[in-house]
Amino acid sequence: MVSIILPTYNEALNMRLIIPSLSKVLDDAGIPGEILVVDDSSPDGTAGIAEGLGKAYPVRVHVRKEDRGLSKAVIEGFRLAKGDICVVMDADLSHPVESIPHMLQPILDGRCDVTVGSRYVEGGGSENWSWKRKAISRGAGLLAKGVTSLSDPTSGFMALRKSVLDGVKLDPLGWKIVLEVVAKANPRVMEIPILFSDRKEGKSKLGLLVQWDYLRHLWHLYVHTFPTLEQFIRFCLVGLTGLLVDTAVLVFLVGWVFMDPRAAAVFAFSAAVTWNYFLNRIWSFRAAASTGLLSRYVSFIFVCVAGLGIRISVMHMLIEYAGMAKAPWYVLASFAGIAVATLFNFLGSKYVVFSSRR
Ligand code: GDD
Ligand code: MN
């Protein structure tokens, strides 16, 4: 059995159009199914109208009372669906109901577990979109390339075998439930060309907040896909604050204590290392580092000193063998040294200093 999940917010007029069409498509294809409307208490009476249609069509309506949200509604739909296969689509007729059999067939044949309706594969497209909307859609899709190979990652149209969600924890943030399912469940996916048409009735609910939530959602997916990335970015940010501490101590010791800059640099380095240690401990690697305050500190110092050696060695090689002694090349050589040393320090910190096995 197939459950067609329709998340709705103020789609009263569209209910009378889409529900009969969906029911006809299922009948014609000989697929037993239900239409599950998940409404967020729409003020326009969407739920009541859908319920009324339940007399003539296989419709069930679930009304959510709080915590409005497209993905939340769809996840609730997965929970309530009776079918072992679910279809998720917009209720405003933007997603072509005629495509449903094409979306289901590969799953029924066992060729994949999820199909996604795509505007960007051969045969797909979108009806009279302005260049601005196209650009936003393309841009949003591009940002997701690091977590998915889908050609149309912001699509809201999919079919799935519900068992792919077993044991998968879905994040209800934002609108991109398709992306969430594909990135988290990592199922066998096929893309089906669809023609996205403009809604005829009502208006879009996609506002600025939805776009902001999309960026937050993407960040979560990147961190999920590359768990080390978040640590690395934190580590680099800590390193930048460490540079400020280093410079502040240096300037203080030279300017106020009249120390020789080279001697002062040793203290500046020590202060920055200590500062970085504590920040990395509580922020960058917090999960792993609850013990070994002193022993981890000592090993962090070793890693940093080795990193300094690496930085200078890289610089030395570039100056000596790549002719980078003169301005502005020596600055570049220094940057290269910093980059290699940062990577070394990060790996040392992650796998030695803050390793959970210690
Ligand atoms: N339950 C519930 N709660 N449903 C919602 C909510 C909500 O808070 N917000 C929107 N919906 C429903 C709408 O009623 C509609 O059925 C569907 O979600 C899509 O909303 P639209 O307002 O029509 O969005 P859109 O057409 O701008 O965006 C669609 O196309 C984009 C591609 O250009 C969506 O499919 C997007 O996910 C997609 O990126
Ligand atoms: Mn729409």
- Give per-residue pLDDT as tens, 184-199: 999 999 999 999 999 8
* Domain range summary for the chain, segments of one domain joined by +: 2-225, 228-353
Q: Provide the whole-model pTM.
A: 0.82
Distance 8 CA to ligand 1 centre (A): 8
Considering the chain, what is the average pLDDT of its residues? 94
User: Which ligand lies nearest to the CA atom of residue 94 in the structure?
Assistant: 2
- Give per-residue pLDDT as tens, 48-74: 999 999 999 999 999 999 999 999 999
How far is residue 176's CA from residue 334's CA, in Å, rounded to a whole number? 43
Could you tell me which of 296, 131, 287 has the C-alpha nearest to residue 223? Answer: 287
Q: Does the beta carbon of 214 sit less than 6 angstroms from any atom of ligand 1? A: no
Residue 351 CA, chain-centre distance (Å), reads 26
Q: Does the beta carbon of 337 sit less than 6 angstroms from any atom of ligand 1? A: no
CATH 3.40.50.620, applies to 2-225? no
Distance 85 CA to ligand 2 centre (A): 23
Q: Does the beta carbon of 204 sit less than 6 angstroms from any atom of ligand 1? A: yes
Distance 253 CA to ligand 2 centre (A): 63
Q: Given the CA of residue 204, which atom of ligand 1 is nearest to it?
A: 22
Query: If you take atom 32 of ligand 1, which residue's CA is the nearest one?
Result: 155
Distance 217 CA to ligand 2 centre (A): 20
- Give per-residue pLDDT as tens, 86-145: 999 999 999 999 999 999 999 999 999 999 999 999 999 998 888 998 899 999 999 999
Q: Given the CA of residue 38, which atom of ligand 1 is nearest to it?
A: 1
Q: Does the beta carbon of 137 sit less than 6 angstroms from any atom of ligand 1? A: yes
Distance 199 CA to ligand 2 centre (A): 6
- Give per-residue pLDDT as tens, 131-155: 998 899 999 999 999 999 999 999 9
User: Which ligand lies nearest to the CA atom of residue 42 in the structure?
Assistant: 1
Contact partners, residue 169, CB within 8 Å, separation at least 6: 184
Return the best residue to mutate from 36, 70, 200 for the ligand 1 pocket (most ligand atoms within 8 A of CB): 70
Return the best residue to mutate from 6, 8, 129, 155 for the ligand 1 pocket (most ligand atoms within 8 A of CB): 8
Residue 36 · residue 6 · CB < 8 Å = yes
As a whole-number percent, the residues of the chain with pLDDT over 90 amount to 88
As a whole-number percent, the residues of the chain with pLDDT over 70 amount to 99
